[in-house]
Structures are given as structure tokens and as C-alpha cells.
Structure 1
Amino acid sequence: MQFDELVTSTTQWATQYGMALIIALIVLAIGWIASKWLSSAILKVLPHNKAFDETIAPMVSQIVRYVVIIVAIVIALSELGVQTASILAVLGAAGLAIALALQGTLSNIAAGVMLIWLRPFNVGDYVEADGINGVVKQVGLFATQMRTVDGKFLFAPNSKIWNATIVNFNREMTRRVDFKVGIAYDADIAKAREVLLETAAADDRVLKVPEPVVYVMGLGASSVDLQLRCWTKTADYWETAMAINERGKLALDKAGVEIPFPHVHLVAPGLNANITSDSSKETK
């Protein structure tokens, strides 16, 4: 008897809600497919629009996808007879519960929006923030994806980057190259300055304005510390810096300008040994 009642009630429910259930499932399927399609389309089309760039595209794509899915769920529930007011109330309560449980996640979303809005960096920029270094590949809704110079993948929460001091190495058009070197105290400073300036002038990547300069930065324990400062385009920075380091050393050697290094002298009269160094320390 109970089985007959179960079959009867199931049949009645299927007759009454079966079509609505099918429509709801179709709506969900269409919403899921449409969300993925729109998300992909935005990623392809938006970067080509002059009003936007590829930094904004990933976040807009994710937001559109989630909005389409939520709308599909609301429509599907309404097809099953759930009142819109009830749906909104449930979504509001669920949203509040999720907000309390996922405060960190929401802070990442807020940080992502601020990163997109204020634009401290764009996709392709090399940045440093709170010990995180790399080329920005994507700014998402929850996290920023980066690639290190040695090919590692970084997935950093947006809030971690937003709450740190961000250093953008690509924002400015030019960067300064510093070449630091110590020369012996009896070396000719004017000659060393001339050699370093000629080294900078010989590199076409070094800008004429501002003109290269050489300063005496300090007097060390065993050397006079000089610094060559010259400017180059940001895109040429690393190649220029490495070239100046190598050519500067070779030019100083060729000119006979000594670059000192600590010396240790061992003297062993009989069985005793005295160890002296240029720092004037003696151990017996």
C-alpha cells in the first residue's frame, strides 16, 4: 500500500513539475555554456579595444562568467516555482554567510579591483612587492599570476600585493645604470674617471642626456670607491648594465688603474708565524 502511494505521489509530482525541472536544467546548461563562451570572448576581444588592455580583461571575464551563472540559477529556481523575492532573500543570506566565512577571499577581490582601478602595473611589467618578484602575466579576481626571471610560476593573492610597496621596474622610460668600483689609494682618480666615462660613451645604448658622471662615493679600508652613473632606456637596462660592468673592469686594467683586494702576508721566523693583512691586524 505504501509503495502504491509512493508511486502515485511521484507520478503526480513528475506530472506537475517534470516539465519545469527539465526547463530549469536546460536553463542551467545554457547558462553554464554561455558563461564560458562569454568569458573566452572577452579575453579575446577586450585587449584589442583601445579603451581597455589585457590587464583588465581577465578580471572582467571572471566577473561576467559568475554573473551569468548566478542569473541562470535564479531563472532556473523561478521555473521551479520559487518566488523571486525568496531567491533574493536566500542569496542575500548566503552572501552574508559567505562574506563572514571568506573575509580573506573578499579582501583579495577588493584588492584586485583596486589594482585594476589604480593600475600600478600592467601585464608584462616586471614588479617587486613584499619579496615577490616577477613579470605580471595576469591580474585575476582573486590572485595575480607572475613569472620569475628564472622561469618559475608565481600565484600571489591580490591582497598581499596591494598591501605592499609595489616597485615597477618598467613604468619609467629610462633607468640609471650604476657601476661601482674601488681603486687603489695611490691610483689617479682623474684617470680612472676618464676611463669610465669613455667606457660609457662607447656604448650606444647609454643616453647622452643626462650625461654620464663619475663620483667618489667613499673612502674604504683599502680603496677609493668610485661610481659611474649613466642612463639608458628601460628595455636596454640589463644588457647595458652587464656590458658596463665587464668593459669597465677591462678598461681600468688596460689603463693600469689598480683595483685592490685584501692581501694576506705570512711570515714564519723559526717556529712562530705572524699573519698580517691590509687591515693592520696581527695575530701571533
Structure 2
Amino acid sequence: MTITQFLMIPVTWLTLNALSLLAAIAVVVAGWYLARLTARAIKQLLPLAYGVDKNFAPLLSQAARYGILIFAVVTALNLLGVASTSILAVLGAAGLAVALALQNTLANIAAGIMLIWLRPIAIGEFIQGDGVAGVVVEIGLFGTRLRSSSGLYIFTPNQKLWASAITNHSREPRRRIDVNVSVPDTIDIAKSRKILLRIANADKRVLPDPIPNVHVDSFSGAAVNMQLRAWVATPDYLETLYGLTEQAKIALNRELVGSKEDKAGITVGPNPDNPSPETQAGS
């Protein structure tokens, strides 16, 4: 076979299969756009359907997109004369090779399905897990998107999130506020307790059951460490925490009898062992 004859092989093939090639290209292009439109429609319209969990939308939209793309490629190969049995055999062998090479990717898909099925997290909830924290924006096929309270974009693979302990700050209907108060031991502890309880009971956001309480947590040198505990509805957590912290400091400085040095020694702040979501997201 001469070089000229060898070069004429693709030319001859293109001449004989020009229409099939154009049809195959058209199928792939149409499949690409159809996949995008379908994924977008599922993502936007599925959450509007009655009784359908909005957390399913991102995962289903991605699965539909890849499914349509694979179908378009297989159809295009059929138009070019590649037998379906050959395509299925190649896909089977390729699938096995890909499965071995991309074990972590497949683990992310399985973890995403489990996150959707068992629902330890949901879109719109503030969570902490795998060393990250933020509001869940999307639970995708391969990873979960979060947005921190400072507006940062966070992406974590589903497998890492699934394998870690997840703290959901939004799931329970109410949360407990812990405010640490440190006063010099020369200050009247009983009066300090009455002031703190009055502030908590006066705040309409504080729930009456369980009732707010103040206890002495520890003694440190010349300081008495107290803690105010109050329960609030979860959406009111941050605003109430900041409000009680500020009001406690102002009231203690104004109403307690003591020297300027004693009042300067009064410190009030959120309990670091029970941090607020914003504190976690910003860390």
C-alpha cells in the first residue's frame, strides 16, 4: 500500500459517511444542550413540587445531566456504525477500570446518596463537619457546597463530610445560650445572680421552659466565675446571645457596689465550649 492509498482511506471514509458523521455531531451537540437544560429545569422546578425534598434537586440534576450525555454519545457512535454490543462491552470494561481508578470519586457519590437519604444535613442549615462550617447551599453528586457566615465559598467532598462527625446548629428547634461572667470575689454573688436572672427573664426571646438559671462555675484566684444559661428558639440564638452579653456587662457595672477596680474586673462573654455558629464559621 502506497502513502497515497493510505492517506485516501480517511478521505474515502468521510465521503461515504459524511451524513452519518454530521448526524452524530448533531446528536452530541443536541445532547449537550439538552443535558444542560434538563439539569437546570430539575434544579429549579423540583423544589417547587409538592412533597418533594429540595435536597434531592442538585443530586438528581447532575445525575440526569451525565445520563443524557452518555446516551447521546452512545447514540452518536451507533450512527457511525459502531455496534451497540461493542459499545456496551467497551463501556463495561471502561467502567471497571474507572471504578478501580476513581474509588474516591465513587465513594463521594455513595456518600452523597447517604447524606440525602439519612438527612443529617439539609439545604439552609448551618453545619460543622470535617473542619469546615457554614450554611449548606447544595448537596451535589460529588461534593457539598457551603457558605460561611463571612460569605466565603466552601466545597468539601461528600465522603469526607459523611465520614466525619457532623454538628447541625439549625436542626433542633431551640438552643441553650451560655454566658460566662467573671466577677471579683469582693462582689456580692447573690446580687450578681439576681441581676443576670432579671436580664434573662426580661428578654422576650428567652423561653420560659426550661427557666433561665445562674450558677457558680468555678473559683479562679480572686475571681468568681459564674454562668448564665437560657434557652431560646434556634433562629434567635445569635441576636439573643449578643444582647444578653452586652446587657449583663452594662447592668453589673451599673448596679453592683464596689470600687472602680472591682468593676473593671468584671468580664462577660460567650462560653467558648458552646460557640455560636458565626464564631465557628469565622475560625
Q: Normalising TM by the smaller chain, what interval?
A: 0.7 to 0.9
- Residues 133-191 of structure 1 show CA distances to partners (whole Å, capped at 9, x for unaligned) of 11111111111111111111111111111111000100011111111112232332221
- Please name the residue that 1:83 is paired with: 83
Shift of 1:26: 1.7
Q: Secondary structure at the match of 2:214?
A: strand
**Aligned-partner Cα distance in 1 for 2:65–2:130:** 31
**Aligned-partner Cα distance in 2 for 1:226–1:162:** 38
**Aligned-partner Cα distance in 1 for 2:104–2:264:** 54
Residues 192 and 256, structure 2, Cα contact 8 Å, conserved in 1 = no
Structure 2 letter corresponding to 1:216: V
**Pairwise mapping of residues 139-218 of structure 1 onto structure 2 (< 5 A)?**
139-218=139-218
- Please name the residue that 1:280 is paired with: none
- Residues 226-267 of structure 1 show CA distances to partners (whole Å, capped at 9, x for unaligned) of 1111111111111100111110111111221555749xxxxx
Residues 183 and 223, structure 1, Cα contact 8 Å, conserved in 2 = yes
Q: Secondary structure at the match of 1:197?
A: helix
Report which stretch shifted further, 13-22 or 43-52: 13-22
Q: Aligned pair in 2 of structure 1 residues 69, 230: CA closer, same or farther (>3 Å)?
A: same
Residues 47 and 57, structure 1, Cα contact 8 Å, conserved in 2 = yes
- Please name the residue that 1:138 is paired with: 138
Q: Aligned pair in 2 of structure 1 residues 87, 245: CA closer, same or farther (>3 Å)?
A: same
Higher Cα radius of gyration? 1
- Please name the residue that 2:250 is paired with: 250
**Aligned-partner Cα distance in 1 for 2:245–2:60:** 45
Q: Secondary structure at the match of 1:254?
A: helix
**Aligned-partner Cα distance in 2 for 1:4–1:218:** 94
Structure showing the higher helix proportion among its residues: 2
Shift of 1:15: 4.8
Shift of 1:225: 1.6
Shift of 1:2: 4.7
Q: Secondary structure at the match of 2:217?
A: strand
- Please name the residue that 1:94 is paired with: 94
Higher relative CO (Cα under 8 Å, sequence separation at least 6) belongs to 2
Q: Secondary structure at the match of 2:227?
A: strand
Q: Aligned pair in 2 of structure 1 residues 198, 41: CA closer, same or farther (>3 Å)?
A: same
Q: Secondary structure at the match of 2:154?
A: strand
Q: Aligned pair in 2 of structure 1 residues 7, 192: CA closer, same or farther (>3 Å)?
A: closer
Structure 2 letter corresponding to 1:29: V
Aligned-pair Cα RMSD in Å:
2.1
Q: Secondary structure at the match of 1:170?
A: coil
- TM value normalised by structure 1: 0.86
Residues 109 and 141, structure 1, Cα contact 8 Å, conserved in 2 = yes
Residues 139 and 145, structure 1, Cα contact 8 Å, conserved in 2 = yes
Structure 1 letter corresponding to 2:81: G
- Residues 180-215 of structure 1 show CA distances to partners (whole Å, capped at 9, x for unaligned) of 112232332221111111011121111111111111
Structure 1 letter corresponding to 2:236: D
**Aligned-partner Cα distance in 2 for 1:146–1:10:** 51
Structure 1 letter corresponding to 2:89: A
**Aligned-partner Cα distance in 1 for 2:191–2:75:** 81
